[in-house]
Structure 1
Amino acid sequence: MSNEAEAIIDRAAHATFDVAVVIPTFNRATTILETLKSVLKQTLPVNEIIIVDDCSSDETVCLVESVRSSIVRVMRNQTNVGAAESRNRGAFATKNSWIAFLDSDDVWTPDKLEQDLRALERNPDAIAIASNHVAETDGGNLQPATRKERIAEPLALLKVENYLGTCSTMTVRREALASIGGFTPFLKSCQDWDLWIRIARRGTIAIARPGSVFYRVTSNANISLDGKKRRAGHVFMWKTAIRPCKRDTKTRSTLALTFADIAANLNKRRSFRRLCMYSMKSKPSNAVIAGLMLISIVGAPDYRTYRTRVVRRLGTLRAARKVASHRLLSKRTND
């Protein structure tokens, strides 16, 4: 073992950074071995790897069991319970202080956990660590999916969008995870967003800046591309995280644009119009962004009517700015 590797392990021991990796899986025979190997190749060794199989019907379990490693443990669900509950079962089956989650079709760079440790050293009071990640499409194209930085009030931004990313970027203190009850079991989408918000309410989230997670965006059974599940997840987030903040007009109006974009992608034109109009009514400057979104619905039968409304709103906004500028100029002249 090199001196550098020994130093990393010594730092981890000193920081009590004992990590268990939880990987929920369902019919991932084509990707599970690559995912598992990316954990075994970490420069900072993990204490335990828990694979939670959710009733796979392919060779996923056989492939995992073929890997000879004393730290790999397989848990098999008797019934299909979904990824969220599978993560909970794996997380609460370990006694390690830290739990890192990884989806069975994603991979880590070899220094992922080492970067987590460095982030923890910069923020020793953190209860969770978020890694930046890179999205990989079916064609093998790579693009940065997140550029996270330390933000003073992450909860405020999380109420607008899930800027911290997927579960594969998430490393959490076991005690903190237990205190919030883990993942919401019935959620099929937005599981990561929901948990990030509840973690942010509890304490500090450290940021591991290098992109150390490769998140695969595939057309094969990817929940993030499933319109119904995605919409249901966002509705849940609206009800639980956003609607209670009735006085926070800025947050609600900005999030409305996020949902409007989703509605446009799902061809929900009425929802798109209502969300945009709500957002512009609450915050007139959002009319500019809403106008840009119209590109995605140019073919809509009611496009002209809606465009007229947006232009009218933009005109009102420009007029208001001119009046404000005129008043400011007059005040300066009089002074």
Structure 2
Amino acid sequence: MVDYGLVSIVTATYNMAQYLPLTVESVLGQTYQNLELIVVDDGSSDDTSEVMARFAAEPRVRYIRLERNCGQTVAKNRGLSEVKGAFVAFVDADNLWKPNKLERQLPLFVASERTGVVYSDAEYIDGSGAVLPYIERKYHDGDITAKLLLSNFVNFNSAVVRKEVIDEVGGFDEALAMGIDWDLWLRISVRYRFRFLPEQTYSYRLWENQMSHQKVKRLKNAEKILEKFQRAYPDAVPAKTLDEAKALLYADYALLELKNGTKSEAMTQAVRALKMRPDRLQFWKTLIKVIIG
């Protein structure tokens, strides 16, 4: 097997002792063996430290414990500060990698130095590991900034990134609580190309109370990310693309407010969305949904 260099994998974990050993084993079980795993324990109050003790003799695993819970952004950046590899990858403590993940993705970097990130499709599993029905998503290849603004389709746990790219654009924005991967991908996308591997290289676990279910918090952070992107890269995409990204966000707000029973606020957000892109039928449909309740 071709050696593409050391791959550093960062796992930030908080009270995930029930799933973490499986995650670690899925990384260590890679067919591509030139890797290191950096597990950053974000002040867990469960038995994470005891669980990680079973990997103490494994030289490819480093366990770092933060004394208090600092949040996923700080924990992931701490992991990034420790990496030694030419490539960086990420896996959350409740997800699993397929054995040939790195073997399949690393060759895609060879074709072009402009390739900054290689990512893939995902398999979905429940809390017990049973495979769930496939969730179809649209993925994109190449210069993806305009499409990425409209939807974060880059699966975080699938992404492998050149270390020099992260050195250039910086790590995760610690002013954000959620959407930190979307913010990172956007910053990378204005300078580098993304390659998509149409294979399911990892298993994404869907279970109750995970962070992705916190929709209000997610939308507020998405709004911050769009504002930040517009300030930093005002000419990166056509104005209409940015308007559509904002309209999609306001439409999400509208439907969430409708669900929560605050119809007046739902109406305000639906009108905001429509004003941004009155030429899009979907935003007229959002307004109609709000009107009829």
- Quick one: structure 1 residues 106 and 118, their matched pair in 2 at CA, closer, same or farther if it must change by over 3 Å? same
- Quick one: structure 1 residues 262 and 137, their matched pair in 2 at CA, closer, same or farther if it must change by over 3 Å? farther
Q: Distance in 2 between matches of 1:249 and 1:136?
A: 37
- What is the match of residue 139 of structure 2? 148
- Correspondence for 2:153 among 163, 170, 173: 163
Matches within 5 A, 1:127-276: 127-138=116-127, 140=130, 141-144=132-135, 146-151=137-142, 153-165=143-155, 167-220=156-209, 222-242=210-230, 245=234, 248-266=239-257, 267=260, 269-276=263-270
Q: Which of 246-255 and 198-207 deviates more?
A: 246-255
Q: Distance in 1 between matches of 2:116 and 2:241?
A: 28
- Correspondence for 2:45 among 26, 38, 57: 57
The structure that has the greater radius of gyration is 1
Q: Distance in 2 between matches of 1:82 and 1:258?
A: 24
* Conserved 8 A contact 1:250-1:283: no
Q: Distance in 1 between matches of 2:285 and 2:95?
A: 36
Q: Which amino acid aligns with 2:267?
A: R
Structure 1: tracts of 5 or more residues without a match: 1-7, 298-302, 308-335
Q: Which has the higher helix share?
A: 1
Structure 2: tracts of 5 or more residues without a match: none
Cα-to-partner distance string for 1:42-94 (whole Å, 9 max, x where unaligned): 11114211100011111112112212422111011122211111111111212
* Conserved 8 A contact 2:121-2:198: yes
Q: Distance in 1 between matches of 2:41 and 2:239?
A: 41
- Correspondence for 1:83 among 68, 72, 76: 72
* Conserved 8 A contact 1:257-1:276: no
Q: How far does residue 40 in structure 1 lie from its aligned partner after superposition?
A: 1.1
Q: Which amino acid aligns with 1:106?
A: N
Cα-to-partner distance string for 1:205-258 (whole Å, 9 max, x where unaligned): 2222212122222213x1111134212211212321247749602431344124
* Conserved 8 A contact 2:251-2:283: no
Q: Which amino acid aligns with 1:252?
A: D
Cα-to-partner distance string for 1:109-142 (whole Å, 9 max, x where unaligned): 1111112113223444312222222333458423
1:31 paired to 2:23 = no
- Quick one: structure 1 residues 114 and 186, their matched pair in 2 at CA, closer, same or farther if it must change by over 3 Å? same
* Conserved 8 A contact 2:95-2:203: yes
Q: Which amino acid aligns with 1:36?
A: V
Root-mean-square deviation (Å): 2.5
Q: Which amino acid aligns with 2:40?
A: V
State the TM-score, normalizing by the size of structure 1.
0.76
Q: Distance in 2 between matches of 1:263 and 1:27?
A: 33
**Higher relative contact order by CA 8 Å / sep ≥ 6: 1 or 2?**
2
